[in-house]
Structure 1
Amino acid sequence: MSAAIDILTDGFDRVHDNVGAVLDGLTTEQLLARPTPRANSVAWLVWHLSRVQDSHIAGLLDTEQVWHSEGFADRFALPYDASATGYGQSPEEVGAFRLQEPGLLREYHEAAHELTLTALKGLRDQDLGEVIDRSWDPPVTKAVRLVSVVDDAAQHVGQAAYVRGLVT
C-alpha cells in the first residue's frame, strides 16, 4: 500500500476504535438519550456515521451497501425510508430513531468498516485521482470522497463521545 492509503486506513481505524469506545457499557436508554429535543443521541450519531460511510464506500466499489446486503435495514426496522442515511433529518426524525438491540450499532459499524478496509486495500495511488462525481465544481475524486467520509465520521464520533459524557 501507499502512504496515502495507509493514512486513510489509519483514519478509518481511529474512527472505528472510537465508535467502540463510545458504545462500550451504554444502556439502550443512554444510547437513545438526547440532551435536548433538538440534539442527536449517541445511537443516532453512530448509525448516521456508519450509514454515510457505508453508502459512500459502496458507491466507490460500485457494490451494494451492507445496510441492504447484510439485512441491517430490516433488523434495525427504523421508521425511515430504507435508503435514508440521516443526512438532513429534522429533530423530529432524529427523535423517531429506535433501537431494539444495542449490539446492532456495533455490528453495523463493524460491517461498514470492513467494507471500507476492502475498498482501501483495492486502491492504488493512481486510483485516488479518479473523478467519481462531476456534479461538483471542482469534480470529486476518490481521494476527496474518502477524506470527506473520514472527516465526517470523525466529527460525528466526537459528537457521540460528547453526548456520551453528558448522559453518563
Structure 2
Amino acid sequence: MNSSDLLTDAFQRVSESVHSAVNGLDAPTLLARVDDESNTLAWLIWHLTRVQDDHVAELMGTDQIWISAGWVDRFRLPFAPEDTGYRHSSDDVAAVVVSSPELLLGYFDEVHERTVHFVRGLDDGDLDRVVDEKWDPPVTLGVRLVSVIADDQQHAGQAAFLRGVLLRSHG
C-alpha cells in the first residue's frame, strides 16, 4: 500500500462515519441539542465538511466547493462565505439550520469526491511539500492531510455519539 492508498482509505472511513451518523435522521433530530451550549449534528457535519473543503481547496489551489458549486446559496446560512465554523459561538451553532440530511450529505459527498480524487493523484514525494510556513516546523502536505482526517474523524465521532444519545432519548 502506498501513501495515496492509505490517505484514500482514511478519507473513505471519514465518509462512512459521516453517513452512519446522518443516514435516516430527520431535520429536527439534526438540529436537536442536548443542552443550550452543545453542538448539533447538523453543525458537526457542516463544520467538518467546511474544514475539509477549505483545506483541500487550498492544497489544490482551487476554489472551495462551498462557493464554486453554490452550496453556500443552498444552505443560506448567516455567515460569510469563507466561514468554516472555527470559533463558532453557541448562537452560531444554532444558526446552522438544515432542511434535510440530503442537504448535508450532498455537500459532504461532493467535497469527499474531490478530496479522494486529489489524494489518489499524489505520490509519496508530494507529501513532503511545505504548504504552510506559519508554523515551526513548517506544515507539509502530508501533515495537513492527516490533520484534516483527524479533525474530521473527531467531529464524525462526536456526531455518532450525539446520534445515539438523541435516538435513545426520543424513543
Question: Do both share a fold (TM > 0.5)?
Answer: yes
Q: Does the 8 A contact of 2:38 with 2:90 survive in 1?
A: yes
CA distance in 1, matches of 2:163, 2:89: 21
Find runs of 4+ consecutive structure 1 residues off by over 2 angstroms.
none
Please name the residue that 2:13 is paired with: 14
How many residue pairs get aligned? The number is: 167
- 1:24-63 map, 5 Å: 24-63=23-62
Q: Which range moved further: 94-103 or 136-145?
A: 94-103
Please name the residue that 2:142 is paired with: 143
Shift in Å at residue 8 of structure 1? 1.1
Gaps in structure 2 of 5+ consecutive residues: none
CA distance in 1, matches of 2:146, 2:90: 27
Quote the sequence identity (%).
47
Per the normalisation by structure 1, the TM-score is 0.97
Provide the secondary structure at the position in 2 that maps to 1:39: coil
Shift in Å at residue 3 of structure 1? 1.6
Provide the secondary structure at the position in 2 that maps to 1:12: helix
CA distance in 2, matches of 1:23, 1:96: 19
Shift in Å at residue 154 of structure 1? 0.3
CA distance in 1, matches of 2:100, 2:33: 18
Shift in Å at residue 82 of structure 1? 1.0
Provide the secondary structure at the position in 2 that maps to 1:132: strand
Shift in Å at residue 77 of structure 1? 0.2
Pairwise CA RMSD: 0.9
Q: Does the 8 A contact of 2:26 with 2:100 survive in 1?
A: no
CA distance in 2, matches of 1:102, 1:157: 14
Residues 44-84 of structure 1, C-alpha deviations (whole Å, 9 max, x = no match): 10000000001100111000111011100000000111111
Please name the residue that 1:128 is paired with: 127
Please name the residue that 1:117 is paired with: 116
Per the normalisation by structure 2, the TM-score is 0.95
Q: Does the 8 A contact of 2:53 with 2:66 survive in 1?
A: yes
Match status 1:4 vs 2:8: no
- 1:66-105 map, 5 Å: 66-105=65-104
Gaps in structure 1 of 5+ consecutive residues: none
Structure 2 counterpart of 1:91, one-letter code: S
Please name the residue that 1:158 is paired with: 157
CA distance in 2, matches of 1:28, 1:115: 26
CA distance in 1, matches of 2:17, 2:48: 12
Q: Does the 8 A contact of 2:4 with 2:121 survive in 1?
A: no
CA distance in 1, matches of 2:117, 2:59: 11
CA distance in 2, matches of 1:144, 1:38: 31
Shift in Å at residue 100 of structure 1? 2.4
